[in-house]
Amino acid sequence: MNAPLITAMVSTYASERYLRGCLDDLLAQTLRDQIEIVVIDACSPEREGEIVRAYQQQHGNIRYLRTEVREGTSAAFSRATGMARGRYLTTANTDDRHHPEFCARMAAVLTQCPQFGLVYADAAIGSVDNETWQNTTATQRFAWPHYTPATALSCCLFGAQPMWRRDVHAVAGDWSAQHPIANDHDMFVRLARASGAVHLNEVLGLFLQRPNSNAGSGNHAAVVADACAVLQTHRRSWALDEIVPGATSEGPLAEAAAWFELGNLCALGPYTDAAAALDCYRAAVDRPVQHGDRALVQAAFANNSGCILACAGMADAAKRAFAACAPGPMRDHNVARLAQPASRRAGLRQFRFVEIEHPVVAASRRTRGVTVASNGQVDFGDEHMQVPWDVFVGPNGVPWQRAAEVVGASA
């Protein structure tokens, strides 16, 4: 085939029972004549090689490589990325499926919106092996937030099936073996950081949620730990201006407000890092803000650090911090919560945190997604404000009614 538009990268190990359905799903895409499928067999003990070779006899767009030893998915996707000829890349997990227009609609966004390097869509959540898009019994969906850099550092918002420009790897780098489970999350954050991202506000994927997968509920503790490690690395390595554009050029108060934004998403997002939050609040206090604003920043530091100290079981230190806050409903709430038994005050969201309002923070929260109309035209939705730590809807998604799903409209 001529140079393909899209390369779908498949990593397989002990997934023979899913591979036929995976290949059938990709070959049923309306854009199938512009797709190549690269299958990396990580020395599987099952018969994936026989299955792929049988498909290759009828389909010239399937490429196959078997490694000599067992490799993790980072190594497999690194191989697939190096082999890929498509302008756009996507990961196709063997147990996941797609809307037949998935590739066409995702590619339309990248083609018509050169300002974005990565696009991600919502996904229905299945629980039955090898269901197709047409016969799925899924009743829930992942409703991902729209992209902002701060939101990307708050939760895992890209899902398992984004599409991105292959040439962005020149900036974002290769897949990392440091994260055995959340390597795709790490890669997608790096791609978005390098080239921007946008949310296609449509349900175009079918994600199989099963407890025995690498990232399944049966491996929950390890999954969360690796996701936290990914976010910790990125939260501490991004420049403040990447998270809140203009923060360091609009004066010390703008920088302090941006540090509080980052601190709050570390404290209040679903992947909590209280130590990082405290570091952010301390950085805000260290800004040389004008005398009239210093009391504001110091009071905010006292309140938010008090909340973290209270949840860490350091009640006396928290009490001293709250004493430095101005009297009012927020302090009253936090002091009353501190007086509760430790078991009842557990969780940072039980306390009220201060935000420092500033135009640069407000601008960093403005975002919008896209949809693809029936004529293939990409349409931008209305802009709205998105607080980065208040957009995650949880691991089980939200209700999804298949009868109401209309491609080309917001799902």
- Residue numbers of the domain that contains 14: 1-94
Kindly state whether residue 202 falls inside one of the protein's structural domains.
Answer: yes
Query: In this model, does residue 295 exceed pLDDT 60?
Result: yes
Same domain, 138 and 70: no
Q: What is the pTM of this model?
A: 0.94
Structure confidence at residue 406 (pLDDT): 46
Structure confidence at residue 394 (pLDDT): 74
Which residues lie across from 39 on neighbouring strands?
10, 64
Query: In this model, does residue 322 exceed pLDDT 80?
Result: yes
Same domain, 341 and 394: no
Report the number of distinct structural domains present in the chain: 3
User: What is the number of other CB atoms lying within 10 angstroms of the CB of residue 21?
Assistant: 17
Query: What average pLDDT score do residues 198-212 get?
Result: 91
Kindly state whether residue 368 falls inside one of the protein's structural domains.
Answer: no
Same domain, 3 and 73: yes
How many residues comprise the chain? 411
Six-digit token string for 366:
């403005």
- In which element (H, E) is residue 12 found? strand 6-12
Query: In this model, does residue 163 exceed pLDDT 70?
Result: yes
Which residues lie across from 197 on neighbouring strands?
118
Say which range, 25-39, 191-205, 252-266, 395-409, has the weakest mean pLDDT: 395-409
Query: In this model, does residue 326 exceed pLDDT 50?
Result: yes
Q: Taking all residues of the chain, what is their mean pLDDT, rounded to a whole number?
A: 94
Same domain, 90 and 109: no
**Residue 396 is part of a domain; what is its CATH number?**
3.90.550.10
Query: Which stretches within 312-375 are classed as H helix?
Result: 315-323, 329-339, 342-345, 359-365
Query: In this model, does residue 176 exceed pLDDT 90?
Result: yes
What pLDDT, in 10s, does the model give residues 359-380? 999 999 999 999 999 999 999 9
Same domain, 176 and 77: no
Look at residues 48, 76, 94 and tell me which one is the last residue of a structural domain. 94
Query: What average pLDDT score do residues 13-37 get?
Result: 97
Structure confidence at residue 56 (pLDDT): 98
Structure confidence at residue 292 (pLDDT): 84
Same domain, 136 and 255: no
Q: What percent of the chain has pLDDT over 90?
A: 89
Same domain, 208 and 260: no
CA distance 107 to 116: 11
Kindly state whether residue 370 falls inside one of the protein's structural domains.
Answer: no
Structure confidence at residue 403 (pLDDT): 56
Kindly state whether residue 364 falls inside one of the protein's structural domains.
Answer: no
Kindly state whether residue 200 falls inside one of the protein's structural domains.
Answer: yes
Same domain, 184 and 62: no
Look at residues 70, 94, 118 and tell me which one is the last residue of a structural domain. 94
Same domain, 270 and 228: no
Kindly state whether residue 335 falls inside one of the protein's structural domains.
Answer: yes
Same domain, 62 and 138: no
Same domain, 126 and 213: yes
Half-sphere exposure of 181 (CA within 13 A, CB side): 18
Look at residues 72, 94, 116 and tell me which one is the last residue of a structural domain. 94
Say which range, 103-107, 163-167, 316-320, 338-342, has the weakest mean pLDDT: 338-342
What pLDDT, in 10s, does the model give residues 224-278? 999 999 999 999 999 999 999 999 999 999 999 999 999 999 999 999 999 999 9
Same domain, 124 and 226: yes
Kindly state whether residue 363 falls inside one of the protein's structural domains.
Answer: no
